Amino acid sequence: MGKILIIGAGGQLGQCLKIVAERRAITNIVFPAEADANILDQSGIESLLQKEQPAFVINCAAYTAVDKAEDEVELAKAVNETGAANLALACASNKATLVHVSTDFVFEGNLVKLLTENDEAKPINVYGQTKLDGEKAVIALLKEHFIIRTSWLYSEYANNFVKTMLKLGAERDELNIIADQVGTPTYAIDLANAIFDVIASGSTSYGIYHYSNEGVTSWFDFAQAIFDISATQVKANPIPGSAYPTKAIRPAFSVMDKSKIKNTFGLAIPYWRDSLVQCIEKLKEN
């Protein structure tokens, strides 16, 4: 498989990659501290790659605060676009393949259809735009890249929708949840497995791929499933997005077509609710 270097090792996906690497007995892998892997420090990243000489770099580092990005445009742009470009340049000069994680938020989400990698990306918020610009930078600077767009990421680690719902569900009698934004949750452990499968394949079918769990749901139905599976007694009320205005507009429908990644790498993708059961069981254990 060759040596693997993880950028953004302390984040949600970085932690899941560490767990999955242990489960799969992948030992030739490095999880540097954030201070040693700052994608805004071009010379530092270059030095890190020269020192480690990885065959693959997985970039999990990103600015993901969707609403804050509307105010912190320059910071979001620096991390998601400039940072991605810095990493792509370092990979190019050190002959490493880059696995770069992106998002369904590159899409406008105004059409009810499965979104393919060839569909036009037309972001409607700053976060989505900076992630799209990051994709473009990687494509322009490095041939050896796999860009994997994912959606609604959650796990036992870091802050995410599942953990927030479990916390609020335990504290309150009633919750209002948006019901008119539709997509697919993705268990970050499943995404981590998929990334290692892509690397292990030895494929040079570079380009953009879509990965989320299987199935379609709304935030309301996702929350309802979290409460059902965890036996949390709370009343959930479906509300329209207009009743809960946020700084950043979200895509109304961002369900991605995963045929390309399944066919290219022979992946079997779990159904979202089955993975949610696994995650909640792990959270209970902890």
Tell me if residue 154 is catalytic. no
Candidate list 63, 127, 187, 211, residue with the active-site label: 127
User: Residue 153 and residue 167: Cα distance in Å, rounded?
Assistant: 17
User: Residue 54 and residue 75: Cα distance in Å, rounded?
Assistant: 28
Phi, psi of 88 (to 5 degrees): -60, -40
Rg of the chain over all Cα atoms, to the nearest angstrom = 18
Residues forming the active site: 127
